[in-house]
A and B are shown apart, each in its own frame.
Chain A
Amino acid sequence: MEKLEKMRNIGISAHIDSGKTTLTERILFYSGRIHAIHEVRGKDGVGATMDSMELERERGITIASAATHVEWKDHPINIIDTPGHVDFTIEVERALRVLDGAILVLCSVGGVQSQSITVDRQLKRYKVPRLAFVNKCDRTGANPYKVKDQLIDKLNLNAVLMQIPIGLEDKLEGVVDLVAMKAYYYDGDSGETIRVEEIPANLKAEADTKREEMLDAVSMFDDELMELMMEGEALPEEKIHTAIRKGTLALELVPVFMGSAYKNKGIQTLLDAVTRYLPSPSDIENIALDLDNDEAEVRTLADNSKPTVALAFKLEEGQYGQLTYLRIYQGMVKKGSDLYNTRSRKKFKVGRLIRMHADHMEDITEAGVGDIVALFGIDCASGDTFCHPDLNYSMTSMYVPAPVISLSIEPKDKKASDNMAKALNRFTKEDPTFRTYVDPESNQTIIQGMGELHLDVYVERMKREYKAEVETGMPQVAYREAISQMADFNYTHKKQTGGSGQYGRVAGFVEPLEEGEYEFVNQIKGGAIPTEYIPACDKGFKKALEKGTLIGFPIVGVKVTINDGQSHSVDSSDMAFQAAALGAFREVYSKAKPIILEPIMKVTVEGPTEFQGNIFGSINQRRGVIVSSVEDGNYSSVEAEVPLSEMFGYSTTLRSLTQGKAEFSMEFLKYGKVPAGVSETLIKEYQEKRKAEQK
């Protein structure tokens, strides 16, 4: 149990380019996991260790999360490297689900940027206690104080400085620790030797002031500390640490650390903070759903002697087969023991059990509660729960957004076709927001995802990892059709083609449904339609909704009520009523004034104020609605709602409009009505396409 209390499962969440991968690399180095430092965009061609995919190496970013295990001062720490780009947030979200704490990395120049806001919102959603690390303090324009203020203003966090910098920009030497009131310098070629000195005289007054501020904030979380302060007594360091930990765990305090991963400054002190202030698995309450008991909530127990409950949160295709990353919530996972996959209802034996270090792995025989490990060769999907065969629990389902964009892909040759199938099978298992199907009409393979970049990355991975060269079509927005008013129907399906015929009449009305996709209400009285044919009517309506007649997209938000009808003792059948319902809907659809809906994205654009006019203009040209614009100093952030169909190629446009100084992030917000003009064009295009297909 003592070991469990020392264990930390942490994530490193950040805005892209804030130096997260470099920070992870340094953590691995100082904890002795790797023996040399490589840079993310390294000249030595090796790349940072966490950045395991070739593609990530080239782009200098991390896309897939990899778990790695380190030890720091007798504390086992599992680190999940999470992607920073908003297009891959499912990866971040899944990683957050299994974390107990996080380091929010911020750039000392860029500060809190749009993606930091997205990432922080995710941390809040999963109630993850966090530390902030202000990185890149060696950069020109570095200002950790400003970043701390932004954490308060923009993210509404109770951010409190735990350190102040000794020098900034190219004069960054180290940090002053406001708890120990000592100066920390990081000597040696790679900053591995820590030299602790007295605070330099010129920083003493500032350190005193900031310590006062820090103590005022943290004493709120510990009565004893508050009393000692009021009585003017000496404050033991341990007491201060306890108060900071309490505040952090309660999600009411975010301690702020700083340094420069690139210049090897501030990392070891950050690791100390991880072990001091972030929670152990036993500090966190986790809930499972008991599938044998109507999904009743059950608290998992941080106890190795209890039956096993573990969550498969990540699948990865490794060199030697499929790796399944697992977080253990209760009991132990032992090599050779049996586990039960509660989704597929299949039992399997634990073969190789692995502790992961980026690309290297270590075989182990068992792992206890709280740990993050990997299994080899298990057939499962990400999000599956593995239990002791006596249990039937499922960990709380993860939030999975629906895909908003699709792309047709065509393999270039037979070999590519086989490889593409393999790749798609893998990707859909790894990433629930990535989906694929074959369009029955065009016979094309369609992939769906959360954004242009999301799909781009998978197309690239197909090429690189699976040698599957594919041609891609134009990205296609996932439109929907809907009805806008109530309308009555009364339809008779009648066919006489010799032998027994088909007969069914259905009557009722359709109306728009505010929430949900479809609702079927049966108000038939007196057996106008015999009860046995009612499910067939429901089925017929559902079938009609699969494809609208405006532009061929699914119809959503429809409530169908049937209140009358007629049957025939010989000619009525399930098939006849299904056909009647289908016909009735086709007939009533145009009367119900159908409309087209399109995905609307919440777009945040950030950049220097001088380009604000260009940013406003670019949003306006894309049928966007500007919701707000916030200016602080020379920096401006614009939030808008823009149809996804207008966002293709926006990154290129934005770059050229702002000399590459602005950036944007977007996420799905809602479905909105397409304006009349656009709607007409879409309908015309669809009709032309159909005509062409018929020829």
Chain B
Amino acid sequence: MVKAELNKRSPLRIFENSIHGGVGKGNIGVLASRKGVGKTACLVHIATDKLFRDKHVIHVSFSSRVDHIVSWYEDIFKEIAKKRDLESAVEVHDEIIKNRVIMNFNQDGIETGHVLSSVKAMINEGKFPADAIIFDGYDITRARPEDMKAIKAFAEDVNLEIWASIGLRGEEPLFDEAGIPNELKSYLDVVSVLVTLRYESDYVHLKVVKDHGEMENREMDLKLDPKTLLIAEL
């Protein structure tokens, strides 16, 4: 399969369709779940899908080492290339990987404002023509309410879409009846799209909780395949 065909048939098109075409510029989309359910895999698949469409992505991470993140991308790329029998996979890989930059921070010593200014330096001074920013492993429990607001303001300022993963902790139930994670309730106004992940009967279910202006509690027609760690059709 050639790249264009692969993009057309990607399950990420279904993903986008179920959230009104995507997160949109200046907005924040959030993937939330307990640790180890597959947020990073989803984020990396979302990012890789953008790279496949010749978009530029900044991957901001807070927890892992850079080589771990790189191997996430390598694994996801390999799985996609294998599944779709991608033509000239090596060339496609080398071409798209140039459009990704990884910025790793130790959230311990660094304020959110500082992270944002570093990302801005990458865009302005580094002349990196970013189309989307991935925030991986952002610890919401350590963030202050104004931090999320600052991220939203930043997204609007640079006119980019931001996808973030947020790990949920604490006792069950993590979600209320509307499927909203308790930890995220106070941040809902700055989040445009909220998707939660839950492992149940052999695979990871994706549920849209907020879709732009509307609160929903709707299962996507997609799952995260625990074997390939790819987002796939049900």
A residues contacting B by CB (< 8 A) are: 153, 156, 514, 609, 612-614, 616-617, 619-620, 625-633, 636, 639
* C-alpha gap A616/B118 in the complex (Å): 10
Asked if B98 contacts A631 (CB within 8 A), the reply is: no
In chain A, what residue has the closest Cβ to B120? A613
Q: Are B65 and A625 in contact (CB under 8 A)?
A: no
Question: Could you tell me if A613 and B101 are in contact, using CB atoms closer than 8 angstroms?
Answer: no
One of B36-44, B125-133, B196-204, B218-226 at the interface:
B125-133
Question: A620 contacts B126, CB within 8 Å?
Answer: yes
Inter-subunit contact A613/B121 (CB<8 Å): yes
Please report the C-alpha to C-alpha distance between residue A625 and residue B65 in the assembled complex, in whole angstroms. Answer: 19
Q: In the bound complex, how far is the Cα of B90 from the Cα of A685, in angstroms?
A: 32
- B101 lies within 8 A of A627 (CB): yes
Q: Which residues in chain B, 60-84, are within 8 Å of chain A measured between CB atoms?
A: 65-66, 70
Which residue of the partner chain, among B65, B70, B104, B114, contacts A629 with CB atoms under 8 Å?
B104
Return chain B residues, CB-CB under 8 Å to A628: 66, 70, 101-104
CA distance A213 to B102 in the complex (A): 33
Task: From the candidates B66, B98, B110, name the one contacting A625 in the complex (CB within 8 A).
Answer: B98
Report the minimal beta-carbon distance from B174 to chain A, rounded to whole angstroms: 30
Min CB–CB distance A614 → chain B (angstroms)? 7
Secondary structure of the B contact surface, majority rule: mixed
Q: Is the CB of B128 within 8 A of A626?
A: yes
Q: Report the nearest B residue to A154, measured CB to CB.
A: B65
Q: Which 5 A-B pairs have the closest CB atoms?
A: A616-B126, A613-B121, A613-B125, A617-B125, A628-B102
Which bracket fits the contact residues of B? 20 to 34
User: Once the chains bind, are A631 and B118 in contact (CB under 8 Å)?
Assistant: yes
Contacts of B66 in A (CB 8 A): 628, 630, 639
Inter-chain contact B109/A626, CB cutoff 8 Å: no
Chain A hits for B118, CB < 8 A = 609, 612, 629, 631, 636
CB–CB A620/B127 < 8 A: yes
Q: Can you list 16 pairs linking A and B with CB atoms under 8 Å apart?
A: A609-B118, A612-B121, A613-B124, A613-B126, A614-B125, A617-B125, A617-B127, A620-B126, A626-B122, A628-B104, A630-B66, A630-B103, A631-B103, A631-B106, A631-B118, A632-B106
Whether A626 contacts B106 by the Cβ 8 Å rule is no
Q: Tell me, yes or no, whether B105 is within 8 Å of chain A by CB.
A: yes
**Residues in A neighbouring B65, C-beta threshold 8 A:** 153, 156
Indicate which residue in A514, A616, A627, A632 contacts B125 across the interface (CB closer than 8 Å): A616
State whether A631 touches B126 (Cβ < 8 A): no
Q: How far is the CA of A45 from the CA of B90 in the complex (A)?
A: 57
Output the residue of B98, B106, B122, B126 with the most chain A CB within 10 A: B126
CB distance from B66 to the nearest CB of A (A): 5
B79: shortest Cβ distance to chain A, in Å? 22
Q: How far does the alpha carbon of A626 sit from the alpha carbon of B70 in the complex, in Å?
A: 13
Q: Which residues of A contact B103 (CB under 8 A)?
A: 628-631
A616 to B124, CA, bound (A): 9
Task: Indicate if the CB atoms of B110 and A631 lie closer than 8 Å.
Answer: yes
Least CB separation from A628: chain B residue? B102
How far apart sit A514 and B98, CA to CA, in the bound complex (Å)? 20
CA–CA, A632 to B104, complex, Å?
9
Shortest CB-to-CB span from B143 to chain A, Å, is 17
CA gap between A616 and B125 in the complex, in Å: 6
Complex Cα spacing A626 to B66, Å = 13
Contact A616 B106 (CB under 8 A): no
- Chain B residues whose CB sits within 8 angstroms of the CB of A619 once the complex forms: 126
Shortest distance between the CB of B130 and any CB in chain A (Å):
11
Chain B residues in 8 Å Cβ range of A153? 65
Which A residues touch B114, using CB under 8 A? 609
Q: How far is the CB of B99 from chain A (nearest CB, A)?
A: 9
Q: Identify 12 new A-B residue pairs, CB closer than 8 A, beyond the known A613-B121, A631-B103.
A: A613-B125, A616-B125, A616-B128, A617-B126, A620-B128, A626-B101, A627-B102, A628-B70, A629-B102, A629-B118, A629-B122, A636-B118
| Interchain CA distance A616-B105 in the complex, whole Å | 16
Q: How far is B65's CA from A639's CA once the two chains are assembled, in angstroms? A: 13
Q: Do the beta carbons of A629 and B101 come within 8 Å of each other?
A: yes
Query: Within the complex, what minimum Cβ distance (angstroms) separates A149 from chain B?
Result: 10
Smallest beta-carbon distance B202→chain A, Å: 34
Most buried by B among A613, A619, A629, A631: A629
Nearest-Cβ distance from residue A670 to partner chain B, whole angstroms: 10
Residue of A nearest to B127 (CB): A620
Min Cβ gap B115→A in Å is: 8
* B109: chain A residues within 8 A (beta carbon): 632-633
- Smallest CB separation, A221 vs chain B (Å): 25
Residues of A close to B125: CB separation below 8 A: 613-614, 616-617, 620
A633 touches B106 (CB 8 A): yes
